[in-house]
Structure 1
Amino acid sequence: MEASIIKIGNSKGLRLSKTILDKYNIQDKVEIILEKGQIILRPIDSPRKNWENEFKKMNENGDDKLLMTDVFDDENLEEWT
């Protein structure tokens, strides 16, 4: 399949047909992968899909602990007043 590059303001873009958008379930965003001289477009259906379930698993496994405290030991909060 061949597609033309079109001018969009000061940029250029690629127009995808409705058939391609529907077939690959492309909604608003795609992931762009540059690999071995190729440009790969991968649909993004939901950037945070399944995060809620993964956070629940982390909590159940005790993996949701803070790695850093909110305040560093050598932090001087007086500088900000």
Structure 2
Amino acid sequence: MKVRLIPIGNSKGIRIPSTVIRDCGLEGELDLEVRDGGVYITPSHHPRAGWEAAITASPHPATADEGLLIPDDADNAFDDTEWTW
């Protein structure tokens, strides 16, 4: 696909077809990188951004105040019917 540089104020730009924008998930703020003599544009929003910090900041299950969701000594019919030999 060929595009033409167009003047935008004191800069130049290109028009990116809406199908390309949609297919690449581009919206809002973007990351722009010069790579191997070309321009590489990626979405700035990364779906998993911040996950590591959130996991690190969360309490470890062994030290969490709420304890286990299901107590270790809880009986249920599944244990009686499905795990018996």
1:40 aligns with 2:58: no
- Kindly state the Cα deviation for residue 37 of structure 1 after the two structures are TM-superposed: 1.2
- Kindly state the Cα deviation for residue 4 of structure 1 after the two structures are TM-superposed: 0.6
Q: Does the residue aligned with 1:4 lie in a helix, a strand or coil?
A: coil
Q: Distance in 2 between matches of 1:48 and 1:38?
A: 25
Aligned twin of 1:56: 54
Q: Does the residue aligned with 2:3 lie in a helix, a strand or coil?
A: coil
Which has the larger strand fraction? 1
Runs of 5+ in structure 1 lacking a partner? 62-81
Aligned length, in residue pairs: 60
Q: Distance in 1 between matches of 2:11 and 2:26?
A: 21
Aligned twin of 2:8: 8
CA shift in 2, pair 1:16/1:50, >3 Å? same
Runs of 5+ in structure 2 lacking a partner? 60-85
Q: Which amino acid aligns with 2:28?
A: D
- Kindly state the Cα deviation for residue 47 of structure 1 after the two structures are TM-superposed: 5.9
Q: Which has the larger radius of gyration?
A: 2
- Kindly state the Cα deviation for residue 36 of structure 1 after the two structures are TM-superposed: 1.7
Q: Distance in 2 between matches of 1:42 and 1:28?
A: 11
Aligned twin of 1:64: none
Indicate the percent of aligned positions where both proteins have the same amino acid: 22
TM-score by length of structure 2 reads 0.55
Q: Which amino acid aligns with 2:4?
A: S
How much is the aligned-residue C-alpha RMSD, in angstroms?
2.5
Aligned twin of 1:18: 18
Q: Distance in 1 between matches of 2:8 and 2:24?
A: 23
